Amino acid sequence: MKTSENAIEDIKGSFRDSVATISQDGHRNFLNPKKPKGRLYNLRTRFSIFYLIVFFTLPFIKVNDEPLLMLNVLERKFIIFGLVFWPQDFFIFGIAMLTFMVFIILFTVVFGRIFCGWACPQTIFMEMVFRKIEYWIDGDQAQQRQLRSMPLSGVKLRKRITKFIVFFLISFIIANFFLAYLISMDKLLGYIQHPAENLGTLSALLVFTSVFFFVYWWFREQACIVVCPYGRLQGVLLDKNSIVVAYDHVRGEPRGKQTKQKTAEKEECNCVDCKNDGACKDLEKHIAVAAPSQGDCIDCFACVRVCPTGIDIRNGTQLECVNCTACIDACDAIMTSIHKPTGLVRYASETSIHEGKKLSFNWRIKAYSAVLLVLLTLLVTLIVSRTDLDARLLRTSGMTYTTLPDGRIANLYNLKLANKTHKDIPFTLKLENATGEITPVGSGQMVVKKEDYSNLQFFVKLNRSEVKSWKKILQIGLYENGKKLKTIEAKFIGPEVYE
């Protein structure tokens, strides 16, 4: 198997004409990025700890005995921040998805792939969980390469088995929580307590575990490069004003290493520290400073060595870049060591690098913002006006009206109710715009169980004097404990009236 050293060799002398993780002969260049160090890496570590706490805590939080977040695709039941969404609410769900997508597009236009580096679960688990464990077990880049190339020995076997067990266990934990987000933690714990009766669920758990294990053990950055659709959209979403992790080529070029001998011939170094003493004390570090005609990039490849997708950011924004910021930290460390200002690789837009301009609020951002605002307003209105009890009232099909022995006119109705709340709702019906009587058919149970549907058939009986034309719009009030929930309307059919 090829290694990250091969990836660097393949990058040298080429310009974005191949994928860094595939070697010239078509094999996988298996990457062993150097462990990043620096301000941004520390910040990302802190953020990911918070992120993981939220991820592993959410399935345990309940509202009214229901999970705070559940996305049960199989039963088509979705609970988002305590609100139950039913198939009837799918238009709200659709608008929410649309809003989310527009938000992602707008966000990407302005801030590039900041989501990938800071909040994508794949990056968080890969770089902040599994990669850290790998550094802990196998060591940093050099030790990992050494381990890979050494023949099978006791040490290698022990490290490989330890890593395998730890990776598998963490994949198993992630799979459990993934399932908890789908079916709720209560159900999952119930299944685990009775494994013999729930072999199907346990098989699903093992499948999920195997998928996660495969992704984090072997597939890794390929998930971002080959599979993720968001990454592939970057080409159409980013523009020259988007903020991305970028190399300042204006400042960095022409790049190049200067040999010790060449620098030594100059005898003097221009850096402030050395200038005062008249001679350079550390030629190795100060080589770039000693050559004023050269750009700031000393072609040290430190930014490439830490890159988890194996690319050279100096070749410009690339599909593989997940904006993890590792190259920023690596280059900042080099710049500091050669007494140059940091930020040769930094968050910047192409325009700001070329022209020194700040991000402008261009027409595309304005248009996206306007669409986003409209969608958000619509979404909030729909959620706020969403009722806990859905009611659909229809006259029973195939029937007109019945004249009762006492002369009253009766129509038969079907009332379908959907209770979207976590409690049973007892209800009563009342005629709002006519005098008459409502008589349920059969047991006429006037309660809708929590998260359930109910069907009720009932007659509406009106005095003959109430029916002044062959068709009348009836208004019926739906009440819970005397409190009106909503008014529903339906046609009432009677005999033709001749004046």
Q: Which of 128, 179, 271, 331 binds ligand SF4 (CB under 6 A)?
A: 331
Our finding on whether 58 is near ligand SF4 (CB under 6 A) is no
Our finding on whether 126 is near ligand SF4 (CB under 6 A) is no
Comparing CB distances to ligand SF4, the nearer of 160 and 251 is: 251
Binding-residue pattern over the window 309 to 328 for ligand SF4, x denoting contact by CB under 6 A: x-x-xx------xxxxxxx-
Q: Which of 245, 391, 409, 474 binds ligand SF4 (CB under 6 A)?
A: 245
Tokens of residue 175, six digits: 């799979």
Q: Which of 31, 84, 238, 345 binds ligand SF4 (CB under 6 A)?
A: 345
Contacts of 88 (CB under 8 A, 6+ apart): 390, 418
Our finding on whether 225 is near ligand SF4 (CB under 6 A) is no
Quick one: which of 374, 377, 379 has its CA closest to 92? 379
Our finding on whether 41 is near ligand SF4 (CB under 6 A) is no
**Shortest approach of ligand SF4 to residue 218 CB, angstroms?**
19
How far is it, in rounded angstroms, from Cα 463 to Cα 466? 5
Q: Kindly report the number of other CB atoms within 10 A of residue 193's CB atom.
A: 9
The span of 167-175, 245-253, 390-398, 423-431 binding ligand SF4 (CB under 6 A) equals 245-253
**Bridge partners, residue 457, by sequence:** 414
Our finding on whether 244 is near ligand SF4 (CB under 6 A) is no
Comparing CB distances to ligand SF4, the nearer of 102 and 330 is: 330
**Shortest approach of ligand SF4 to residue 313 CB, angstroms?**
4
* Residue 486 near residue 388, CB atoms below 8 Å: no
Our finding on whether 418 is near ligand SF4 (CB under 6 A) is no
**Shortest approach of ligand SF4 to residue 147 CB, angstroms?**
23
Q: How far apart are the first and last CA of the chain?
A: 96
- Find tokens 């409190």 and name the residue: 483
Q: Which of 330, 429, 460, 488 binds ligand SF4 (CB under 6 A)?
A: 330
Where do the H-state alpha helices sit in 119-271?
121-125, 131-138, 141-149, 154-183, 185-193, 199-214, 222, 229-237, 249-252, 260-266
Size of the site for ligand SF4 (CB under 6 A): 30
Binding-residue pattern over the window 262 to 301 for ligand SF4, x denoting contact by CB under 6 A: -----------------------------------xxxxx
**Shortest approach of ligand SF4 to residue 331 CB, angstroms?**
3
How far is it, in rounded angstroms, from Cα 440 to Cα 453? 17
* Residue 28 near residue 2, CB atoms below 8 Å: yes
Our finding on whether 144 is near ligand SF4 (CB under 6 A) is no
Residue 410: in which H helix or E strand, if any? strand 409-419
User: What is the number of residues in the chain?
Assistant: 499
Whether omega for the bond prior to residue 59 falls within 30 degrees of 0, making it cis, is no
Quick one: which of 328, 341, 260, 348 has its CA closest to 295? 341
Comparing CB distances to ligand SF4, the nearer of 48 and 325 is: 325
Q: Which of 102, 174, 303, 412 binds ligand SF4 (CB under 6 A)?
A: 303
- Name the residues that contact ligand SF4, by CB under 6 A: 245, 247, 252, 255, 297-303, 306-309, 311, 313-314, 321-327, 330-331, 334, 344-345
